[in-house]
Amino acid sequence: MSEDKKSPERQDAPREKKGFFGRLFGRDRQEEQAEEAAASAPSPASPAAEEPPTATAEPAAVPEPPTAAAPAAAAAEPDAGQEEKAAGGQSPPASTADEGEPPAPAKEVDEKKSDQAEKGRGGLFSRLKSGLSKTRHRFVGTLDNLLYGQKKIDEEFLEELEEILLTSDLGVQTSYRLFREVEERVSHQALEDPQQLRLFLQQEIRKILQGSERPWELDARPYVIMAVGVNGVGKTTTIGKLAAIFSGQGKKVILGAADTFRAAAVEQLEIWSERAGVPIVRQKMGADPAAVSFDTVQAAVNRQLDVAIIDTAGRLHTKVNLMDELKKMQRVISKALPGAPHEILLVLDANTGQNAINQARMFHEALGVTGLVMTKLDGTAKGGVIVGVCDELQLPVRYIGIGERLEDLRPFKADDFVDALFDRIG
């Protein structure tokens, strides 16, 4: 921690921070409690108990056999209607020139620079920029206010910077690390100009995010993806969009409606399956999610499909029994196809701020998450949390969600993200 390096005047800062952290974590707990209350209301206590035993497609060797399984043949066939074009295209490579250039002093210069960036990247970048506008205002906007007219980096400036970093939702650990690095450079006179500091932070955040931009190779056939995450983060929507994207790339996709807690959840996935023109495996409400997963994978194998994507119920990471059920699904899937699931895709909602970091830790610990999707970056000022998640978890971010439209699920490009985030606010 940075306290040991501080001057006596700055010894007050930790006390302030304690109050600040108290508020921070208090808020997260409230959010968790609200989630818990919302989640516990509609879910039947034990879906498996409601399911009458029928002939099962599951091999006897499975340790915790699902109680029921409709045959894979019961899966709905592809619906030809309403197919949407997938937004599978990647953004053009982003410029990383920002860090090497002196910061533009005047607003006109900023706008010109921004216009040039637009031309190079087209409308996708501008959509990302507008999606990230709330986060940009909260973090970079506040930072720019601090930097405005500032000639030198002094104690007072550093204190304000520390506060900005901590309130930016980058995550406590990441904020402290970045702040310590700034302090270190300032104390060695390696960072003297406040404008250099903007470039330094931009560069550090870029490095963190670049570590999580890794190619997603679907290196098995069928490639089985199990989407997990707490209630309402956007799992089903993301699965639907992914189905359309993969299908648009010529891959044969099947969906598994293993969120059997709510009838509406199956219907929601069915609508997406129709839109994407891909089949879906489903059973009635309350069926064993592991059985649905098993059937989905078996159908993908039998029909020689490329990708199977399995939806799961919104789980509270604090409820161990629910996490156990996800583990059971994982085991059952591996019985249907050794090596599967190939991807445990954790969906996180940027609105949950730093709580997303806790969720990522818990899910990773329990299931071994292999990839992330960060949704709803458009409606929140807390999008900085993606930096904390990447820094602490070091997991690949596959896609980001910047809106409800199909094309708003975008492959994660660290350079585009950082450029959009640090774009000067006109």
Ligand X SMILES: Nc1nc2c(ncn2[C@@H]2O[C@H](COP(=O)(O)OP(=O)(O)OP(=O)(O)O)[C@@H](O)[C@H]2O)c(=O)[nH]1
Q: How far is the CB of 234 from ligand X (least distance, A)?
A: 3
Closer to Mg ion at the Cβ: 129 or 235? 235
Closer to Mg ion at the Cβ: 265 or 291? 265
Q: In terms of Cα–Cα distance, which of 343, 269, 347 is closest to 307?
A: 343
Contact (CB, 8 A) for 309 and 243: yes
Q: How far is the CB of 255 from Mg ion (least distance, A)?
A: 12
Contact (CB, 8 A) for 321 and 138: no
Contact (CB, 8 A) for 372 and 397: yes
Q: How far is the CB of 13 from ligand X (least distance, A)?
A: 36
Rounded-to-integer distance, Cα 403 and Cα 134, Å: 13
- 401 touches which of ligand X, Mg ion, none (CB within 5 to 8 A by kind)? ligand X
Interacting residue ranges for ligand X, rule: CB under 6 A: 229, 231-237, 259, 265, 314, 375-376, 378-379, 401-404, 408
Closer to ligand X at the Cβ: 199 or 350? 350
Contact (CB, 8 A) for 3 and 11: yes
Interacting residue ranges for Mg ion, rule: CB under 5 A: 235-236, 265
- 269 touches which of Mg ion, ligand X, none (CB within 5 to 8 A by kind)? none
Q: How far is the CB of 349 from Mg ion (least distance, A)?
A: 12
Q: Residue 324's Cα: distance from chain center in Å?
A: 22
Closer to ligand X at the Cβ: 65 or 383? 383
- 71 touches which of ligand X, Mg ion, none (CB within 5 to 8 A by kind)? none
Closer to ligand X at the Cβ: 65 or 371? 371
Q: How far is the CB of 265 from Mg ion (least distance, A)?
A: 5
Q: How far is the CB of 404 from ligand X (least distance, A)?
A: 4
What is the residue whose two structure tokens read 């660290």? 414
Closer to ligand X at the Cβ: 36 or 160? 36
What is the residue whose two structure tokens read 């993301």? 238
Q: How far is the CB of 237 from Mg ion (least distance, A)?
A: 8
- 375 touches which of Mg ion, ligand X, none (CB within 5 to 8 A by kind)? ligand X
- 378 touches which of Mg ion, ligand X, none (CB within 5 to 8 A by kind)? ligand X
**Residue of this chain nearest to Mg ion (CB atom):** 236
SS3 call for 377: helix
Closer to Mg ion at the Cβ: 235 or 382? 235
The answer for residues whose C-beta is within 8 angstroms of residue 32's C-beta and 6 or more apart is: 318, 355
- 88 touches which of ligand X, Mg ion, none (CB within 5 to 8 A by kind)? none
Rounded-to-integer distance, Cα 387 and Cα 418, Å: 10
Rounded-to-integer distance, Cα 112 and Cα 126, Å: 14
Closer to ligand X at the Cβ: 58 or 378? 378
Q: How far is the CB of 132 from ligand X (least distance, A)?
A: 12
What is the residue whose two structure tokens read 């607003």? 107
Q: In terms of Cα–Cα distance, which of 239, 140, 246 is closest to 197?
A: 140
Closer to Mg ion at the Cβ: 177 or 235? 235
SS (H, E, C) 160-201: HHHHHHHCCCCCHHHHHHHHHHHHHHHHCCCCCCHHHHHHHH
- 231 touches which of Mg ion, ligand X, none (CB within 5 to 8 A by kind)? ligand X
Helices (H), 41-101: 47-50
Q: How far is the CB of 282 from Mg ion (least distance, A)?
A: 13
Rounded-to-integer distance, Cα 250 and Cα 245, Å: 9
Contact (CB, 8 A) for 88 and 74: no
Helices 289-302 and 320-336, packing angle to 10 deg: 20
- 78 touches which of Mg ion, ligand X, none (CB within 5 to 8 A by kind)? none
Q: What Rg, from alpha-carbon coordinates, does the chain have?
A: 24
- 67 touches which of ligand X, Mg ion, none (CB within 5 to 8 A by kind)? none
